[in-house]
Structure formats: structure tokens, C-alpha cells
Structure 1
Amino acid sequence: MVDTVLRVAGISKRFGGLQALSDVGLTIERGQVYGLIGPNGAGKTTFFNVITGLYTPDSGTFELAGKPYQPTAVHEVAKAGIARTFQNIRLFAEMTALENVMVGRHIRTGSGLMGAIFRTKGFLEEEAAITTRARELLEYVGIGKFADYKARTLSYGDQRRLEIARALATDPQLIALDEPAAGMNSTEKVVLRELIDRIRKDDRTILLIEHDVKLVMGLCDRVTVLDYGKQIAEGSPYDVQRNEKVIEAYLGQSHAKPGEPNPVVNGEEE
């Protein structure tokens, strides 16, 4: 039996006179890296924001691990089992890398306010466990040596990895990465790709929005393509790369000119 992590169907969202999403749906199986691509303005980020509770959809159904859920608020979505990163890095700049990951881990704790105030035995034991797990995750993403550095002092690529460590700290069923390679140089992208591949091999499930189409095609098991808020293709990277509607969306014509490289295979989204 196939183990489905996320299933959404019929997702629509309008902002005033703009129909940002029209009847979008997808199914992500456990252990997959699932890509979401499309030209600028296609609705990718809107879709991401809907499933992670930042936007309320006008219509649609949601299932997480076979159970209905409503993405009504970011913290509720995180508790349900979806962790996300953002296109624009959102770390606590004046906190250490370790403290940033510990913040993510606290969503799975149970000592409560009174335990924190009176520093009960249960609270202290839980804090020790959180610290240990946070250090493990920093090592996992490759920045363990920076545990005690303030987040703002880390390099751009290391800040991206810190965000991923914080997301992993919530023990998510699905990790949603919003353009994690944005602003990275080629070396940093190689490190990122290796990390995502490692996360997948550890039987975790990833939804990836990314402008670097070449990165998506090299990493993802399945890909959905949006254009003007509509789902124009879904399938394996091989099939999507050769879909006429996808090529048209990227080139603005029905097919590539003779000798012209396929932008969905060789190029990055502009």
C-alpha cells in the first residue's frame, strides 16, 4: 500500500480580481522529493502559503498522513506535521545557531509555562534533551561547529542550512522548502543538493519550490508545473521536461526553436 503524506485537491485562491490559484491539487508520497515550478507569477508561493497556513484558501480539501486537516494558522500546521522554510531567510539573528534550532524543537515539548517558571525536574530534563537534539541536527546539516555563533554571523549558505535544521527539529512529516537555493553560488548549491538528498535517503518527505529548474529536475521524483495559477503538468521530471505546455510557458511559444536548448532541461527560470 502506498504511503501518502500529503494530498490536496481543488485548491483555489483569489485576491480581489486576481485568481491566484484555480483548482490545484497534488499527492506526495512518503520519501519523495516533490518539486513545484513555474514562471514568475505562476502561483507557486501562493500555493505554498495556503498549505502552510499563511493564506486561507477559497476552496479545497487537505489530508496529511491520511487524516483531514485545515491549514488555518502556521503554528497549527507545524503541530500537524508540516515544517517550512522561507524564500527570505527568517532566523533569530541575535540568537545562536543552537538556540534557533531549540526554538523549533520546543513545539514538541510538554513542560508548559509553570515548569519553565519553577524550573521543575521535568522541565530541566526536557531542556537537556532539546539541547542534545538541536546539536545533533546542526551536525546533521553540516554546521555543528557553529552551534554557539550568532545566526547573523553565519554565511548565507550556512544560514539556509540552519533554517533546514530548525525545520527538522519539529519532527515534521513534510518539509516544505521555499526556494532554498535562492541567492546561493554554485558551490553552496552543491552542498544544498547533497543535504536534500541525504534528508530524502533518511525517509523524509520534501516539497520543494525552486527557481533553479536544473536543480529541481536533478533532485525530484515528481514535479508539478503551475502557470497563471493553473496546474499545466504533473509527472516525472523526464515527462515534464518534454511537455509542450511547460515549454510554452517558459518560452512563450509552442515549442523551442531548432537548436535552442530546452529551458526546462538546461536553464534556470528567469
Structure 2
Amino acid sequence: MIAQTQPILLSVNGVNKSFGGLQALHDVSLEIASGHIYGLIGPNGAGKTTFFNVITGLYEPDAGTFILDGKPYEPTAVHEVARTGIARTFQNIRLFGGMTALENVMVGRHVRTRQGLLGAVLRTPAERREEKEIVEHARALLDYVEIGQYAGYTARNLSYGHQRRLEIARALATEPKLLALDEPAAGMNATEKIGLRQLLEKIRNDGKTILLIEHDVKLVMGLCDRMTVLDYGKVIAAGLPQKVQKNPKVIEAYLGAGGS
């Protein structure tokens, strides 16, 4: 794990979000250091995915301030959030099932394209060069997540674990400052989880910052540098995993007797 000496990449302060009479988030604040894997955990209904949806532009917060990489940040439309530097995956896999693995990653990369619609229509030399670069970058990312041999496979025909890796590759194609992963280990077997942990450690070691929602306590505690625990939309603990794990409120709300 990395010591808390890195600059803060994302600072979130006083976030509130209500749906009718239900307050899903209440005064949620956290700071994520650059190059860390930061865990966001809690029981079902704690507000974790709502928080993800707020910072990635799916939900508009009722209150709160956001600083991303030293600059004020306002979560707006999803595509604008991706351009700003936050990419996410979802708890339920959301790939283009009829497209190839390569094409799925290329879709993510198009957030960073320079040539507009006119260039695409006219097939200008600049557009063709950029398209070649997109293909090469997509292939490199598939190799990076260790599914390069499946570039030509349609996404729906990939194994479950490989589909999860493809989602991560597509998110990385946007060149995110923050990679937000919503339960990436959900549905994985033990072998796939080991591979996922190794992949996420590699991504962190290569300088990326990850915000992780995950229900697998063993995975989270062994992988995250720091974490926040939510319960009923409120922060009940934050800090180093080994300290959070022993927090009585966390044990009562989430981990169960003994903190295991």
C-alpha cells in the first residue's frame, strides 16, 4: 500500500442527495490521493452507488463541492465527466454486446478524438491517421488487461471475467485521472478475483487512481490504501483499512462480529 504522501486528486465536501423523502447521501466528504486505490464500502442501501452516480454526472447533487486535480469540478453530463477525467464501470456489465472487444474499447477512446464529424464524413488524412491511432491504442489496452487475443470476439461471447476486464479497458481508453469501479469482482470466481486484484494493483502501480466499490471484504481490505464506510448515506468511518476494520460502528453495520 502507498503512504498518504501523494497530492489529493479528488476532494468531495458536504455532498447531499435526496430522492423525495429519502436522503440517500448526508454530508458525505472524502479525499482521494493520487495513485491510491480508495475503497468505498458499506451495507446494501448505504449510498455507495448513489455517490458514484453523483460524481460521474448521472445524478445532480443537492449540495456539495468537488475539487478534481486542484480545480473546481461540477459533475454534469456523463460524456463531459469523461472528458474532465473520471471514467467508471457499472455493477451490471454495460458493454456493446454485438460489437467486438476492440470496437468497445475504441468507443471509449473516441472521447479523446480531435477530428470532428466533418473529418469523419470526408475521411480526411488527419481523420484516417487518428483512426489508426485509436485502433492501435485500443489493441494496446486489450493487451494491458490481458485479453488482447480476444480483440475480434464479440463482447457477448467473452467469458464473464473477460467482460469485466473489457469494461476496465474501455474506461482506461478515456485516459481518466480517476477510474471509478462499481463492484468489479461481483460474480467472479476465486481465480478471477485473484486476477482482478493483480490487474488493479498494476493499474495503481502505473500511476492511476482508483475509486472502488466492492462487497468482497477480503479483497477490499487487502487492496485499498484508504477507505470510507457509508451507512444510511452517512460516513461512519474513514482511514486506513486495518483501522477501519476494527471500528465498532463498522463492525456493527457491515463487517459483523469480529470484523471479518
TM-score, L = length of structure 1: 0.93
Give structure 2 stretches of 5+ with no counterpart. none
Contact 2:6-2:35 within 8 A present in 1 as well? no
Paired position in structure 1 for 2:248: 244
Paired position in structure 2 for 1:75: 79
Query: Could you say what the CA RMSD is over the residues aligned between the two structures, in angstroms?
Result: 1.0
Paired position in structure 2 for 1:141: 145
Paired position in structure 2 for 1:259: none
Q: In the comparison of the two structures, how many residue pairs are matched?
A: 256
Deviations 1:68-113 (A, max 9, x none): 0110111111010000000000000000000000000000011100
Counterpart of 2:17 (choices 13, 20, 39) is 13
Please report how far the alpha carbon of residue 248 of structure 1 lies from its aligned counterpart in structure 2 after TM superposition.
1.1
Counterpart of 2:48 (choices 37, 44, 49) is 44
SS at match of 1:130: helix
2:92 maps to a residue whose letter is N
Paired position in structure 2 for 1:204: 208
SS at match of 2:167: helix
Is 1:91 aligned to 2:95, yes or no? yes
Deviations 1:207-227 (A, max 9, x none): 000011111000000010000
2:8 maps to a residue whose letter is T
Separation of aligned partners in 2, 1:211 and 1:237: 14
Separation of aligned partners in 1, 2:253 and 2:7: 32
Is 1:188 aligned to 2:228, yes or no? no
SS at match of 1:55: coil
Please list, as runs of the form range in 1=range in 2, the aligned pairs for 1:1-270 lying within 5 A after superposition: 2-250=6-254, 256=257, 262=258, 264=259, 266=260
SS at match of 2:59: coil
Identity of aligned residues (%): 71
Please report how far the alpha carbon of residue 2 of structure 1 lies from its aligned counterpart in structure 2 after TM superposition.
4.0
- Please say which of residues 70-79 and 133-142 is displaced more in the overlay: 70-79
The structure 1 segments of at least 4 consecutive aligned residues displaced by more than 2 Å after TM superposition are none
SS at match of 1:149: coil
2:37 maps to a residue whose letter is V
Separation of aligned partners in 1, 2:178 and 2:74: 15
Please report how far the alpha carbon of residue 251 of structure 1 lies from its aligned counterpart in structure 2 after TM superposition.
6.1
CA distance 1:63–1:190, shift in 2 (3 Å):
same
